[in-house]
């Protein structure tokens, strides 16, 4: 009787803070690098995997340098720079269309905070698209030369991002896990939210309210059907909370607005950190 293969472990990591995260700019497919803090976050993520004795067998990442550099730094900490790495545009960040490169606060001043929140945080409303002749359009970027022009987005909603990521999960990531290989995916806030929505079967409302912290590994233990048996963030609970709250605060910046109180661990102190993060407590305030 053939021996059943136990699925490998899955680790999801959002790239470390980028220079445009730091400057509060819409990034999307713009290829910007890590900030100094982002470099530290990436190295720390690698050390967390080492501390938990998690050694990936294969790595998947996007074609954007902030994710590529994050996985380099993580693998360097693990002394696993020789591992096979597959890069795919399907793991890129959500495309923010004509908003890319704009300051988030200034955009809210121009279009209104409610409209910008709709573009950023709704499930199925994309921002204004790039024109076909806009030099920022991905059809002008040689890294997408082998991608069908009809597949290249000029803008995307989170729903569109999920539709882009899901085939890659089915065709590349899932099969590696079924072979019993441990998989590391280093990607972006929205491409990872798409995977989390699929894995955890989150509602549209729940996923738009979920913030994934930069540079914090999220470990999934999966059953034979690749359904989650358990999931948790790795690292010091206080540091994980602080990272998640920093993402939430960055997402809610509005012109002239005073900081609003965060929903944090203090409101649900009886729950372990991995649970209150996984069930949506660290959210975009309404």
Kindly state the DSSP code that residue 25 receives in the 8-state scheme: B
**Which residue has better confidence, 60 or 248?**
60
Do the domain assignments include residue 247? yes
Residue 284 lies in a domain: no
How does the average pLDDT of the chain come out, rounded? 87
Flag whether 285 is in a domain. no
Task: Report which listed range, 32-41, 103-112, 230-239, is most confident.
Answer: 32-41
Q: Name the domain count of the chain.
A: 1
What is the per-residue pLDDT for 41?
97
Tell me the mean pLDDT in the region 102-129: 93
Confidence of residue 241 (pLDDT cuts 50, 70, 90): confident
The domain that holds 164 is classified in CATH as: 3.40.50.1240
| pLDDT for res 167 | 97
In a domain, 208, yes or no: yes
Q: Output the CA–CA distances (angstroms, integers) from residue 187 to 66, 67, 193, 218, in the order listed.
A: 9, 6, 10, 12
* Portion of the chain with pLDDT greater than 70, in percent: 85
- 5 belongs to a structural domain: no
The predicted pLDDT at position 238 comes to 84
Mind giving me the DSSP string for 27-77? Answer: -TT----B-HHHHHHHHHHHHHHHHTT---SEEEE-SSHHHHHHHHHHHHH
Sort 33 into a burial class: Cβ within 10 Å, 0-12 / 13-18 / 19+. Answer: middle
pLDDT > 60? residue 228: yes
146, part of any domain = yes
pLDDT at 276 over 90: no
Mean pLDDT over residues 223-252, rounded?
A: 85
- What is residue 236's predicted lDDT score, i.e. its pLDDT? 86
Which domain, by its residues, includes 94?
Answer: 10-278
| Alpha-carbon gap, residue 270 to 115, rounded angstroms | 37
The more confidently predicted of residues 246 and 104 is: 104
Would you say 100 and 129 are in contact if contact means Cβ atoms under 8 Å apart? no
Confidence of residue 2 (pLDDT cuts 50, 70, 90): low
- pLDDT per residue as tens digits for the range 78-103: 999 999 999 999 999 999 999 999 99
Q: How confident is the model at residue 286 (pLDDT cuts 50, 70, 90)?
A: very low
The full DSSP string for 217-245 is: -EEEEE-TTS-EEEEEE-S-HHHHHHHHH
Q: Is 3 inside any structural domain? A: no
What's residue 114's pLDDT?
Answer: 92
- pLDDT at residue 247 tops 80: no
Is 268 a member of any domain? yes
Give yes or no for residue 52 having a pLDDT over 60.
yes
DSSP 8-state secondary structure symbol assigned to residue 14: E
Q: Is the pLDDT of residue 278 over 60?
A: no
SS3 (DSSP) at 181: coil
Q: Tens digits of per-residue pLDDT, 125-179? A: 999 999 999 999 999 999 999 999 999 999 999 999 999 999 999 999 999 999 9
- Mean pLDDT, rounded, for 260-284: 31
Can you tell me the mean pLDDT for 114-129? 93
pLDDT of residue 244: 78
pLDDT of residue 14: 98
Strand partners, 218: 12, 233
Instruction: Provide the pLDDT confidence category of residue 281 given band limits of 50, 70 and 90.
Output: very low
Long-range CB contacts (< 8 A, 24+ apart) of 208-212? 208/121, 208/122, 208/123, 208/158, 208/284, 209/121, 209/280, 209/283, 209/284, 210/280, 210/282, 210/283, 211/244, 211/247, 211/248, 211/251, 211/282, 211/283, 211/284, 212/12, 212/14, 212/244, 212/247
Catalytic residue numbers read: 15, 93
């Amino acid at each position: 009787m053939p021996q059943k293969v136990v699925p490998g472990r899955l680790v999801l990591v959002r790239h470390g803070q980028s220079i445009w995260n730091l400057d509060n700019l819409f990034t999307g497919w713009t290829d910007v690098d890590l900030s100094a803090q982002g470099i530290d976050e990436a190295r720390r993520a690698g050390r967390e995997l080492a501390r938990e004795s998690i050694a990936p067998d294969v790595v998947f990442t996007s074609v954007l340098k902030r994710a590529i550099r994050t996985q380099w730094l993580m693998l360097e900490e693990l002394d696993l720079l020789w591992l096979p790495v597959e890069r795919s545009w399907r793991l890129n960040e959500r495309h923010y269309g004509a908003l890319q490169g704009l300051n988030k606060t200034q955009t809210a001043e121009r279009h209104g905070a409610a409209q910008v929140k709709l573009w950023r945080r709704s499930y199925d409303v994309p921002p204004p698209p790039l024109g076909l002749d806009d030099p920022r359009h991905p059809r002008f970027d040689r890294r997408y030369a082998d991608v069908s022009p009809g597949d290249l987005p000029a803008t995307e909603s989170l729903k569109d991002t999920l539709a882009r990521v899901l085939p890659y999960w089915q065709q590349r990531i899932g099969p590696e896990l079924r072979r019993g290989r441990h998989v590391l995916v280093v990607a972006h806030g929205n491409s990872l939210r798409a995977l989390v929505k699929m894995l955890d079967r989150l509602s549209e409302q729940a996923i738009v309210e979920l913030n994934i912290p930069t540079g914090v590994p999220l470990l999934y233990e999966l059953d034979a059907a690749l359904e989650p048996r358990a999931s948790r963030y790795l690292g010091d609970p206080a540091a994980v909370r602080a990272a998640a709250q920093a993402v939430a605060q960055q997402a809610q910046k509005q012109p002239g607005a005073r900081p609003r109180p965060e929903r944090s661990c203090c409101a649900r102190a009886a729950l372990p950190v991995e649970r209150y993060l996984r069930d949506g407590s660290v959210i975009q305030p309404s």
